Structures are given as structure tokens and as C-alpha cells.
Amino acid sequence: MNKRVMSLVLMVLAALLIGLLPSVSAQDVFRVAAVAPSATNDLAFSQSMFDALTKIDAEMGDAFEFVFQDGTFVVDDAAVALREWAASGEYDLIIAHGSQYGAIVEELAPEFPETSFAWGTDQNTFGLPNVFAYTAAAGEGGFLNGAMAAMMSKSGIIGVVGPIEVGDAKLYVDGFVAGAAAIRPDVQVQVTYIQSFSDVPLATEAANTFVANGADVLTGTAQMVVGPIAVAKENGIPWFGTQSSQAELSEASGVMFQVYRWDVVLMDMIASIQGGTLGGESYTLTLANGGLQMVMGQHGS
Amino acid sequence: MIDQILTASVFAAALRLATPYMFASIGEMFGQRSGVLNLGVDGIMLMGAFFAHYVALSTGSAVLGVGAALVVGAVMGLAMAFISVTLKAEQGISGIGVYLFGLGMSELLFQRLVGTPRSVEGFTDIYIPGLSDIQFLGIGEIFFRHNILVYVAFLLVPISAYVISRTPFGLMIRAVGQNPQAADAMGISVARVRYMTVILGSMLAGLAGASLSVALLKVFQQNLTSGLGFIAVALVYFGRWRPVGILIGALLFSFVNALQLQVSAIGLDIPAEFAVMAPYVITIIALVFASRQTEKPDALTKPFERGE
């Protein structure tokens, strides 16, 4: 057998071996499409979902793919994306990450009964067998943050910048106020809802107003908190956060952050879908199930 | 109760909140006085805010950041002027196009070049010696403890009023905005004047963006302005195309905003929704009254055609 024949045989054997190696066929890949109102780097709500999907992607490797449409603060834009994804039939799970998308999910899910949908933050699956709902018990971390904030405050005045009094933002703020009161009943927690999730200038001025009124600890929720964090840093006062870790931005002011670990419930959903259950269940992130984690910032550690 | 609400810090907050409006509205006023409506102000502010922040982050110099905002404002103004003056496109639509471009491009550049919100050192507050210590009625705190861009914004009022009403350039702007045919017959280049005002206005819009990202907030995030540029356009109508009127409008709007934050912070039992609506309701009411005695430039939004 000359060298040429030998090489040919080896090449054929190599090709056969490669073919026999276990591989992920296109059909085995679990595909997710998600839409979110703000940016994937908002240090808040949208980033928490993007981080979760990125984590799952790293864990599942070739068996997982996802697309993420961020910045769809216009609900109609989100509706277009969600419908296109559902109509394509390419995705095993379509996530509408925002309570404002609930009506769209309720409308689309019956039209595409073979596709699984998830939405939050809410617990309502609309009684549909292909809809999952998810929420976060944000009051739990809020309580812990509030308790620690009350212990740290020397003036006894704490400022809270909230967006709109709904959903997990309200849960967090209510929990924070309750936690502070549980530790120091005399503490004064000043709360301002600026009626916007994105108005950074107004949120910043709300934080400045708290500081002018004697607040020496600040907290807030939603993506406009980047402004109040800058106020906390500039005045050298502690900052408590929620939804995602804001440790990098808050630097020495950051004390503790409640981080949403959506991957915990998403892994459950994926297992359910792979087992043939497309929905009908609602999930809640809690400290007990690991869906909520408290992360320390520079000031805290 | 009143002394709890009307504190010096509320008035100082009103001055800070008014700063970006002052830059953007006075800039827009120059364009409108020459006959060009630029609805792209918010997009130009976003680009100015991004570039100011990015340059300040990269170089550590807020001054260079402001320079970058002025340059990017000028470039976007040139584009807007080319579309609306040379190509004679419908001004409202082209302005919306410029806005959407600024919104999308600033977000894309932020994602690619910065990635996550990061704060910059920016401009710190300058306490004016002697004046910042005045305790009487909180004057020191209200007027003399701000960053440099707040002072510049308010200095812009007398300067722009003087330019518009007392200089040959101002006269040309008014002539082009009121009667471009007559101005053209007198040898004034309508196109050149409109290019200059739109570029100047856009530079000020860029500066308005910079006042947010390197002075007042010291951070950048997608859609940082949240539609602030559109309020700035409304304030030009509110102010009846005059710098002092714009000053009054910007201060009124910002004061009510600062007031609602204070009312909320001290826990007065007023529904937050009403408090937040108040600045906009007052602006709309004022606009209704302003529209009755309008001094609107006759040629506003009308492309110039020689020989009409």
C-alpha cells in the first residue's frame, strides 16, 4: 500500500470518526427570543434578563441560542418583534420582559399554541397553556437593604427614588420602607416616584432634593438610577441598589445590591418545555430559591 | 409648611434643571427667527451628550468633552441645514429624521465604545467668592454655587438678546425670518444666514447635551434626554422667540418640577401623578396664552424660493 493510498484511507477514517462524534443537531438547539424595554447594559431590569440568558448560553453551549431585542420602550415595536418571532416558528421560548407587554402576550399566545411564551413581572398566565409568568419578590431584598440603610443612617433620613408605583419597583420600595422601620421606627424614609422609568435628569434632581433635605443614604430602582448613583458618589453617601449589580458604577458608595437571577426560573421553564409542558405556570424569584441574591458593593465590603 | 417647601435648594434645583433648556431653546430660537424649525434638537442633544461624555471619559477633560459636543452639534446642524435649506425638505419631517438618527446613533456608539454606564469627573460646582456665602434669602445657595455651564447658560440670555436685537447679524436673522424675499432683494444671502443660525443652534443643542452628561448628571445612558429637546422647542414658542421669554418659561417649568420633587420628598399628601403633570399642564396653559399674542416669524418652516 503506497503512501497516497494510505493517506486516503486515513482521511476517510478521520471523516468517519468526526461523523460519529456526538454533535448537536440543529433540531436539538433550544432557541429563545426576548424583548426588553431598555438597554442590555442599563444596570437594572433589562440587563438582569440579558445577563441570565448569557449565563444559560455559557452553561448550555451549542445546545442554546438566543436573540435579544432591547430598547423597545414603544410597546407596538415590541409587538412586531414578538409576532415575527412567533410566526417564524424558529423559537422554543419567546420572552416579553416587561409588564407592559402582557396584553400582547395574551393576544399572541392563542394564535401560536405550539410556541411557548413567558412574560413578567407578573403572575398571570391568562389561563393559557403556553404562557409562563414570572416575577420577583423584590420586597425581600428591599427589606434587607432598608434594614441596613437604617442602621447606617446618622441623620435618620433616607431617600428613595422610584419610577412608577407598580410591579417589582413598588415591591422593592415597600420592602425597603418596612425594613428601615423594623430596625429604626423613628427613621424617616422619603419616597419620590418620578413617574418615569427613563428620566435620568429628573431622577438625579430627586436625589439632590433628598440630600438637600438631610438624607445621608440613598436607594432607587429602575434604569434611571444611574443619575442618583452619581449624586450618591458626589456626596460620598451610601447607595443601595436592586435588579442588577451597580457595584462598578457606584464604586465606594455602593453598599448592597439585590440581583435578579432570572436564569433560575428560565432553567425550569426550559426543562418544562423540553418535557412537553409549554406553560401554565408562574414563577417567583425569592431569596430562598436563589433567584434573588444580595451582592455587596465596595462600601459594603 | 411654606418654609419647608420653598427652600433655597428648590430654587437652586430649578436653576440646574433649567440649564439644558436654556442652551437648547436659545439655540432653537436663532434657527426659528431665521425661518428654520429644527425638531431634531433632542437627537442633537443626545449626540452632544454622548460625545462630551466619551471624550471626558477618554481624556479626563470635561472641557475637551464640551468641545466635542460643540463640534458634533455643528456637524449635525450642517446636515440639518443642508436638508432643510439646500434641499428644501419639509422641516418638521427632516427634524424628526435628525432626532431619530441622534437617538439611534448615540445608543449604538455608547454600546460599542463604552458598553455600560460610567461616571466622569465632569465640572464641579464653583462657589463665587464673597457671593456664595450670602445667607439672606438663600441667595448664595440659589445663584452662586453652580457648575460653570449653569452660569454660561444664564449669561447666554443677555448675550443672545443683544445679538438678536442690536447687531447687524441679528438684523439679518430677523429679516430672513420675517421676509426672506425682501432680505434677498437687499443682498442678504438667505441660505447663508439660515445655515449659520441652524449650525449655531445645533452647537448650543450639543452644549445642552454636554451640560447633562459632564456637568449635571456626569453619566451617559441611552436616551439620556428623555424628550427634553422637544420641551426646549415648546419653550421657544412659550418665550415668543425672545431670550427673556425663554428664560421665564424655562425657569417656570423647572421651578414647578423642582417644587413637585420637594413636595414629594417631604411627604405632602398630593398624588405623585398630579405633581408630575403640573409642569406640563402649566406649559400648555402658558402656550395657549402665548399663541394669542404670537410674534412668530412669518417665514418659519417655509423654504425660500427666489422670485416668489
Residues of A whose CB is below 8 A from B264: 190-193, 206
Question: Can you list the domains of chain A with their CATH numbers?
Answer: 27-135+261-286 (3.40.50.2300), 138-259 (3.40.50.2300)
How far, in Å, are A120, A210, B78, B101, B226 from residue A167 at the CA level?
A: 9, 24, 45, 33, 22
Instruction: Give the count of beta carbons closer than 10 Å to the beta carbon of residue A61.
Output: 8
Least confident residue range of A15-19, A192-196, B48-52, B137-141: A15-19
Q: Which of A38, A192, A223 sits opposite B261 (nearest CB)?
A: A192
Cell numbers representing residue A49 in the block: 434578563
Q: Exposure string (b/e) for A263-296, b if CB count within 10 Å is 16 or more?
A: bbbbebbbebbeeeebbbbbbbbeeeeebbebbe
- Closest approach of chain B CAs to the CA of A266, in angstroms? 24
Whole-number pLDDT of residue B283: 73
pLDDT top residue among A235 and A166: A235
- Please list the alpha-helical segments (H only) found in B60-147: 62-81, 91-109, 139-143
| Cβ neighbours around B230 below 10 Å, total | 15
Residue A106 contacts residue A279 (beta carbons within 8 Å): no
Give the minimum alpha-carbon distance from A53 to chain B in angstroms, rounded to a whole number.
18
Q: How much is the mean pLDDT over chain A?
A: 91
Beta strands in B144-283 (DSSP E): 145-146
Q: Give the pLDDT of residue A292.
A: 96
Q: Is the pLDDT reported for residue A270 higher than 60?
A: yes
Predicted confidence band of residue B37 (pLDDT cuts 50, 70, 90): very high
Model confidence at B139, pLDDT cuts 50, 70, 90, reads: very high
Amino acid A12: pLDDT: 62
SS3 B129: coil
Query: What chain A residue is nearest to B103 in terms of C-alpha separation?
Result: A71
B117 touches chain A (CB under 8 A): yes
Query: Residue ranges per domain, chain B?
Result: 2-117+152-292
> What is the pLDDT at residue A11?
65
A173's grid cell: 420600595
Digit-coded pLDDT (tens) for A70-79: 888 888 999 9
| Cβ-based contacts of A249 with chain B (< 8 Å) | 116-119, 219
**A interface residues, B as partner, C-beta within 8 Å:** 38-39, 41-43, 71, 73, 159, 165, 190-196, 198-202, 204-206, 208-210, 212-213, 223-224, 226-227, 229-230, 233-234, 248-249
Q: Categorize the per-residue pLDDT at A16 as very low, low, confident or very high, splitting at 50, 70 and 90.
A: low
- For residue A74, what pLDDT is reported? 83
Query: How high is the pLDDT of residue A41?
Result: 87
Encode pLDDT of A34-45 as tens digits: 999 888 888 889
User: What percent of the residues of chain A are helix, what percent strand, and what percent coil, each to the nearest 5?
Assistant: 45, 20, 30
Closest by alpha carbon to B55, among B76, B72, B77? B72
The DSSP H or E segment spanning A208 is helix A200-212
* DSSP state letters, A273-284: HHTT-----EEE
Indicate if the pLDDT at residue B170 is higher than 90: yes
Element (DSSP H or E) covering residue A79:
helix A75-88
- The residue type of B115 is G
Between A197 and B286, the higher pLDDT residue: A197
Q: Is the Cβ pair A38, B222 closer than 8 Å?
A: yes
CB B231 within 8 A of CB B253: yes
**What value of ipTM does the predicted structure carry?**
0.86
